[in-house]
A and B are shown apart, each in its own frame.
Chain A
Amino acid sequence: DAGVIQSPRHEVTEMGQEVTLRCKPISGHNSLFWYRQTMMRGLELLIYFNNNVPIDDSGMPEDRFSAKMPNASFSTLKIQPSEPRDSAVYFCASSLFGEEAAGELFFGEGSRLTVL
């Protein structure tokens, strides 16, 4: 079975440019999470969706960040305009909603973003 698929794997862009990261969750999973990982701050939850509905976006750092999940098999995280401090690895993860499975997240391979 295919796991969580993220694209692009690597992105190098210049400050001020728009960045769009994409994620395809595992088929049948109904919860999707976007995390950001840096050496200093570790793995931070940005936003998560349940049945395509955003539940908690309190981790989104500022209005430059937005996320959508138009259907059960696709989500995007957009940064506009990008800044050097946005450089990080962005992970998408999915899981099955429900108490027992809720903590079992399946992560994609991540998108490494470098903003110059």
Chain B
Amino acid sequence: QKEVEQNSGPLSVPEGAIASLNCTYSDRGSQSFFWYRQYSGKSPELIMSIYSNGDKEDGRFTAQLNKASQYVSLLIRDSQPSDSATYLCAAHTGFQKLVFGTGTRLLVSP
């Protein structure tokens, strides 16, 4: 079992819709979680971090964490074609060690 699991997609949504990306993790000791966005042929870039249960909002992005269910999600409101990318979920599993899921590819159609 991989430490961080994501559905590879692609997840297709129309422009203006809400995109919901999900992630589960296996290490109950993980305390910090992150969402990175990676455009095709580019490097990952951090878009959200979340450390405590509940929701955290930043502009059109909302990260949600449920430690009891070992579940992390990312909601993107008013999706734009420019949001089309692969979204990587990551969890701290130890001292400075960040483990990534394989990513979910999001396609936003105009």
Contacts and interface: CB of A to CB of B under 8 A. Distances in A.
Do A and B interact with each other, yes or no? yes
Interface of A: 31, 33, 35, 41-45, 48, 50, 55-56, 91, 97, 99, 102-105, 107-110
A9 to B, nearest CB: 11
Contacts of B103: 42-43
A41 B4 CA distance: 12
B96 A50 contact: yes
A103 B99 contact: no
Given A42-B100, A43-B100, A45-B99, A103 B49 contact: yes
25 contacts: A33-B98, A42-B88, A42-B100, A42-B101, A42-B103, A43-B100, A43-B103, A44-B100, A45-B99, A45-B100, A48-B96, A50-B96, A55-B95, A56-B95, A91-B44, A102-B96, A103-B32, A103-B33, A103-B90, A103-B92, A103-B98, A104-B34, A107-B43, A107-B44, A109-B42
Interface of B: 32-34, 42-46, 49, 88, 90, 92, 94-103
Contact of A102 (B43, B88, B92, B99): B92
B102 A41 contact: yes
Contacts of A42: 88, 100-103
Task: Classify the interface of chain B: helix, strand, loop or mixed.
Answer: strand
Nearest to A56: B97
Task: Classify the interface of chain A: helix, strand, loop or mixed.
Answer: strand
A110 to B, nearest CB: 6
Query: Which residue, of B32, B49, B94, B98, has the highest number of chain A Cβ atoms within 10 A?
Result: B98
Contacts of A102: 32, 92, 96, 98
Contacts of A105: 44, 46, 98
Query: Which residue, of B33, B43, B44, has the highest number of chain A Cβ atoms within 10 A?
Result: B43
Given A43-B88, A99-B32, A103-B49, 20 more contacts: A31-B96, A43-B44, A43-B100, A45-B98, A45-B99, A48-B96, A50-B96, A55-B95, A55-B96, A56-B95, A56-B97, A97-B96, A102-B96, A103-B32, A103-B46, A104-B34, A105-B44, A105-B98, A107-B43, A110-B43
